[in-house]
Structures are given as structure tokens and as C-alpha cells.
Amino acid sequence: MKAIVYEKYGGPEVLQLKEIEKPIPKENEVLIKVKAVSINPYEWHFMRGKPWFMRLSASGLFKPKNKIRILGNDVAGYVEAVGSAVKEFKSGDEVWAESDFGSLAEYVCASANKTISKPNNCTLEEAACLPIAGITALQSLRDDGQLKAGQEVLINGASGGVGTFAVQIAKALGAQVTGVCSGRNLDLVRSLGANRVIDYTKEKVTQNGQTYDLVVDNVGNLSVKTCKRLLKPGGLGVIVGYQSVPHLIAVGLRGKTQHSKVAYMSAKTTREDLLFLKQLIEEGKLQPIIDRKYPLEKTAEAMAYLEGGHAPGKVIITV
């Protein structure tokens, strides 16, 4: 089968389309014939091997370890085969999943526990957008952010992969949403339900003096001091996006005070939350936004575009 592999760390030029062996599902796995994959900054962090500390824990110190040589996590497609212990799915079922084995390929295995049947009111391409960005948006608001109905939330980076889900999920949770993006994406963010929008190219987020119960920073460019200024007493700041190690250290050292707390979050995909996202889609409360689609052989081009940091919504690879 064809797959996007990388044998060394670097820019999109390290990605190669290669012929490799088709995987065989283990007992608790589902083999998916891939139709669509959504790409995330997570993947280009692995591609580049940056930040460096990632190499210690997961990806290999000097070059990528075998198990992550195929890039990609989010996937949607058709069940091709199932492991002996999997009873929920059969060949031909339409599913979406988060895979640990590299989804930028014609076939990928995913744990049955992280494989979900497609919502009946969206396409496979839309379903492929959900796993990493949808889970991150949900957990940043509901879990790390403890967002309650009626509260005020500021979402920085409201037009990106995570942000477009976060605006809609915050509305579904009953919050009042202020979204921050550039002028060209104001209408998009409004259309997703934001009550107010701030064009960061024209106005500082602190300029209007408004304070919030929750600030979610998907960009990672708000200093700890700015976050605290934006928070009401008892408010929470959730740092989702990463820009530099010194910023993470500053969050760790100075994030907590008597009056507010700013902390970095780390999303963890669970079956319950994947099902929660599916339910929101089926209730018409969540709509994945697809910015661009590229064929598998143009993955390097897609990754370069995503790395630019200005995609409105999700970038999809079709297989």
C-alpha cells in the first residue's frame, strides 16, 4: 500500500510517498481503508522532531522510531477487517478514529476503543476532522476550563482547527463566546456562533477592558500576565497552543495565584469524548469546517500550508 513516511526529522521535504506493507489488525484493532485524514500541528511537531523534549519521550532522539515513521493520526474510512475480539464493527462500516500507527496511508489500524461509527449527518471527510482538534477543544473548555452555562469565554485562535470546534462547543455548553482571529476570518467565527469577535490585527485583546471566566489560548502567544489581566477573580486560563519552551516554563512558574490560574493542558482521547463529539454532530450543534483538501501525494504541500499557521478550519488529505 502507499503511505507517507519520513525517515529523518525536518521540513515537509522529508515526507515521501512509499510502497509499504499493508498492516494486519491485532485482536482489538480495526483495519480501516482510508478515505480521509485531517492533519494537525501535532503531526508537524513529530515531522520536525520539535520541541526537542518530544524526542525523549516518544519520537526517537536522532531519527524517528519505527512505529511513528508513517505520519498522521486522525482518520475516517471504511472497515476492511477486524481483530478477533472486535464485535462492534464489520467490513464496509463507515468509521472515524484516532490511530497511533500513522493514518497517512491507504490502510491503517486503529484501536477499536478509539474507533467510532460515522455520524449519520456528516461526510467521512468531515468526520476525519474530529479526533485531535475536536477532543482538544472539548477538554480545554469542559475539563481544564470547567466552563459552565452563562459564563464568558475568550477563545484566542478561534478560526483554526481547534478554535472552530471550540467556538461551537462553548456555545453548545451555553457560554458567551468572544473569538479572536484576523479580519478575514471574523465572519467565519461569527457564523460559528461567537457573540463577539476581536480582530487581533486591529485591536489588543485587553483593549476593551472586558474580563472572562475562561481564556483558552490556542495560539500560545498570550503572556501569563496578559492572561491574568483578562481573567475575572477565580477565572481559569487554559494554554492549548505552544510557541516556545520559555513560555511553557513561565506558565508553570507564574501561572497560579490566589485569584486565578493559568495552566497548560494536554488532551487525552477517550472513547466517551469521541462519542460526545459524535452526539454533538448528530444534534446539529457541531459542524467541522474544512479549509482545503489535498490528495495523499501532495501531503508535503498540505503540511507546508498548515505550518503557515493561518488555515481557517481543518486541512484534509483525501486518499
Ligand X SMILES: NC(=O)c1ccc[n+]([C@@H]2O[C@H](COP(=O)([O-])OP(=O)(O)OC[C@H]3O[C@@H](n4cnc5c(N)ncnc54)[C@H](OP(=O)(O)O)[C@@H]3O)[C@@H](O)[C@H]2O)c1
C-alpha 189/C-alpha 122 separation (Å) is 20
DSSP 3-state of 26: coil
Residues of this chain, 282-301, that bind ligand X according to CB under 6 A: none
Give me the torsion for CA of 144, 148, 150, 151, rounded to 10°.
-30
With binding defined as CB under 6 A, does residue 59 bind ligand X? no
Residue among 138, 146, 127 nearest 166 (CA): 138
Candidates 124, 133, 192, 286; binder of ligand X (CB under 6 A) is 133
Q: Which residue is nearest to ligand X (CB)?
A: 160
Residues of this chain, 70-99, that bind ligand X according to CB under 6 A: none
With binding defined as CB under 6 A, does residue 206 bind ligand X? no
With binding defined as CB under 6 A, does residue 260 bind ligand X? no
- In this chain, which stretch among 67-75, 109-117, 130-138, 141-149 interacts with ligand X, using CB under 6 A? 130-138
Pick the closer one to ligand X by CB: 38 or 115.
38
With binding defined as CB under 6 A, does residue 66 bind ligand X? no
Candidates 75, 311, 317, 319; binder of ligand X (CB under 6 A) is 311
Strands 152-156 and 94-98: unpaired
3-state secondary structure 142-186: HHHCCCCCCCEEEEECCCCHHHHHHHHHHHHCCCEEEEEECHHHH
CB atoms within 10 A of CB 271: 13
With binding defined as CB under 6 A, does residue 252 bind ligand X? no
With binding defined as CB under 6 A, does residue 54 bind ligand X? no
Residues 6+ apart with CB under 8 A from 87: none
Candidates 241, 280, 281, 319; binder of ligand X (CB under 6 A) is 241
C-alpha 56/C-alpha 152 separation (Å) is 38
Q: Check if the beta carbon of residue 138 is closer than 8 Å to that of residue 265.
A: no
Residues of this chain, 152-181, that bind ligand X according to CB under 6 A: 156-157, 159-163, 180-181
With binding defined as CB under 6 A, does residue 122 bind ligand X? no
Candidates 14, 70, 79, 219; binder of ligand X (CB under 6 A) is 219
Binding site for ligand X (CB under 6 A): 40-42, 132-133, 136, 156-157, 159-163, 180-182, 185, 200, 218-221, 240-242, 265-267, 306, 309-312
